[in-house]
Structure 1
């Protein structure tokens, strides 16, 4: 696994990466660690040794985002958080019957479970960070997946962008920023070979070259969490990704 050194310094910051035990989440966690951060990662498995990656260099926490109680318990024990990266996909318990699953999916849509609830539960800590640039939340495409549980992809993405813009504007007045980075490999996001900017629901959309990778997404996440991006909040960056 490669991490691009883009010169950021997150020394003294506590970064939480949900879904950081594998995939893009792990790449992002590695990038923050390489830049000096203390990194906590979450996964759904009981022990970190059950994952293929060596997670000993992180603080590992089991977290079931489909459980409001599980989220509350995690928030109670995690302590101060300076940066939150939501990279955990939507995984619903297989033991649930049809009605329970439907209730849970609508609960995720309303923000009663999932990354929205976790973000709100950590708001006070993120807004109280003493580090330059304030606290930062970066949503990834995995956060969008929670909305696709109940909405068609295009509608889910429109709502995701709108929520990011609204939350970003509100939190920027409180001392924290909320932004997002998505991979343009989704069917309704065609790849483009050059940089382009346009306005869409208050969010700036940036398309990267088609060769963007998970490491590129990690670099964008580092930038959005850095003090250099202190003026950015409520924005969604879109990168074409080939992993």
Structure 2
């Protein structure tokens, strides 16, 4: 097989949660450029419509479905609908996420629950539905979880404490390892990307007051760009990573290495 064929996603369908903007949309651009039909889910229909128009202008086939992962009873019907209208899902990118910043002693429990419901519980239920409906019957699949360097370490004391987010992303890291081991003999790989700080809507508040501290702690002394996740996302979604599973790859300018 020619090397370029290992990265070819033609004929495959990729579901990307939280795909209407930020890192999810960047990943959709990458997978779509290499031939995948992309299916985006997010809570806001107008943002999904804008993302679809953006992708179609790039020549990418895109489908959009408004959905809130925190509403658990909508998840099975969503996967059934995508399966019926678009086809089986070959690639799942669990990207949707929520965060909350507060000192632990003052952290509202409802905020803790919201973060866990989206980042862990909703991800589990969606993955389970895709496995049952699409990947296990096909005997193949690629699952790419978007964790975070926050799941690999604690916070710099100068930054806002985000215990719920760090805990949830730590769960994603080990979810990736455990599911990878379970699926290894079933033709399904499970890996995770652990981004550092990228300018997105979610990180806007943190960067507003903490960007200098972040840059000081990052050996490359810069934030992530719109292009920095695309290569690893394509690798993990394609046949080029056929012998990789259970890995959590930091894309963080070296911040987790110091």
Do the structures match in fold with TM over 0.5? yes
What does residue 183 of structure 1 align with?
195
Does residue 163 of the first structure (1) align with residue 175 of the second (2)?
yes
CA apart distance, 1:213? 2.6
CA deviation vs aligned residue, 1:120-166 (integer Å, no higher than 9, x gap): 11113123447xxx310111147x89xxxx94455444333222111
What does residue 74 of structure 2 align with?
70
What does residue 198 of structure 1 align with?
none
CA deviation vs aligned residue, 1:75-113 (integer Å, no higher than 9, x gap): 111111000111212289xxxxx887666556557x5x4
Task: State the secondary structure of the residue aligned to 1:122.
Answer: helix
Alpha carbons of 1:168 and 1:108: their partners in 2 closer, same or farther (altered >3 Å)? same
Counting only pairs closer than 5 Å after superposition, residues 129-148 of structure 1 correspond to structure 2 as: 129=138, 134-141=140-147
Does residue 239 of the first structure (1) align with residue 251 of the second (2)?
yes
Normalised TM-score (structure 2): 0.67
Return 5+ residue gaps in structure 1 as ranges. Answer: 93-97, 194-208
Tell me how far apart the structure 2 counterparts of residues 49 and 75 of structure 1 sit (CA, whole Å).
17
Tell me how far apart the structure 2 counterparts of residues 220 and 56 of structure 1 sit (CA, whole Å).
20
Counting only pairs closer than 5 Å after superposition, residues 75-224 of structure 1 correspond to structure 2 as: 75-79=79-83, 80-90=88-98, 107=117, 111=120, 113-124=121-132, 125-129=134-138, 134-141=140-147, 151-185=163-197, 191-192=218-219, 212-224=224-236
Alpha carbons of 1:83 and 1:139: their partners in 2 closer, same or farther (altered >3 Å)? same
Tell me how far apart the structure 2 counterparts of residues 168 and 84 of structure 1 sit (CA, whole Å).
14
Return 5+ residue gaps in structure 2 as ranges. Answer: 57-61, 101-107, 152-161, 199-213, 254-258
Q: Which moved more, 1:49-58 or 1:228-237?
A: 49-58
Equivalences, count: 209
Task: State the secondary structure of the residue aligned to 1:71.
Answer: helix
